[in-house]
Structure 1
């Protein structure tokens, strides 16, 4: 499970999604099996959720993850597409039948992206191979110090 900050997480949009559903933090916490302290921190913008927890919460809110991860499609890295689909690195790697370290390297742009992996990963994420390759190229060309 990744422990990095979830890139593009919009705390205000998350809070609005919860309020739109008419759920208190306490009720959402109980229904999702996530601590109410975690949800308060997400809404305050002092912490970001792990993707598996966010996916669970967004299912309860009956809202797409893309509503709260607000990165334009033409600015997304491969890991952003995965997060928007609510899939952790280990889950995607296992489904794609590649090592998690390979997926991590691809998402960071540190490892070459083979045609076979591009086809598999794009298909699993429900995007075109061209979109996945463009996201990969953005990751490779990102400025030094920029997180993916």
Structure 2
């Protein structure tokens, strides 16, 4: 499972949403099965969430992931679309019946994106194949040193 920094996570927005929904850090941690320190670290900006844990927490808050992961649609890479659905690479790969390494390389723009894979992955993510292809091309054309 990927342990990379979650691109676009807004700690302040997350903390504000938690308070607006009437949850203390303690209540949110308890109800989501997440540690108290994890929520504190997210809100302090010391750590970013792993997508599977964030998806669970956001379900408790009854809010979509894109409420706290802020990446404009026309700036998203394939992995960002996966994150918005709350899926890890292994979860998406299993649903697509692809090796996890293939999904990982497609998300980084390092593996050719076939029409069949674009159709399958976009369908699972709830976006059009063209939107997925555009995200893939952004990943392929990103400047050196830019993570996606």
Same structural fold, with TM-score higher than 0.5 when normalized by the shorter chain: yes
Deviations 1:21-80 (A, max 9, x none): 111000100101111101001011110011000000000001000000100000000000
Alpha-carbon distance in structure 2 between the residues aligned to 1:126 and 1:46:
32
CA-CA distance at 1:130 after TM superposition: 0.6
CA-CA distance at 1:16 after TM superposition: 1.0
Q: Which residue of 2 is the match for residue 108 of structure 1? A: 108
Question: Taking structure 2 as the reference length, what is the TM-score of the superposition?
Answer: 0.99
Alpha-carbon distance in structure 2 between the residues aligned to 1:5 and 1:113:
24
Alpha-carbon distance in structure 2 between the residues aligned to 1:25 and 1:34:
10
Let me know the Cα RMSD of the aligned residues. Answer: 0.5
Q: Which residue of 2 is the match for residue 128 of structure 1? A: 128
Q: Which residue of 2 is the match for residue 46 of structure 1? A: 46
Aligned residues: 148
Q: Which residue of 2 is the match for residue 74 of structure 1? A: 74
Q: Which residue of 1 is the match for residue 7 of structure 2? A: 7
Question: Taking structure 1 as the reference length, what is the TM-score of the superposition?
Answer: 0.99
Q: Which residue of 2 is the match for residue 27 of structure 1? A: 27
CA-CA distance at 1:101 after TM superposition: 0.1
Alpha-carbon distance in structure 2 between the residues aligned to 1:44 and 1:142:
29
Q: Which residue of 2 is the match for residue 119 of structure 1? A: 119
Alpha-carbon distance in structure 2 between the residues aligned to 1:107 and 1:97:
16
Q: Which residue of 2 is the match for residue 64 of structure 1? A: 64
CA-CA distance at 1:17 after TM superposition: 1.1
Alpha-carbon distance in structure 2 between the residues aligned to 1:13 and 1:135:
25
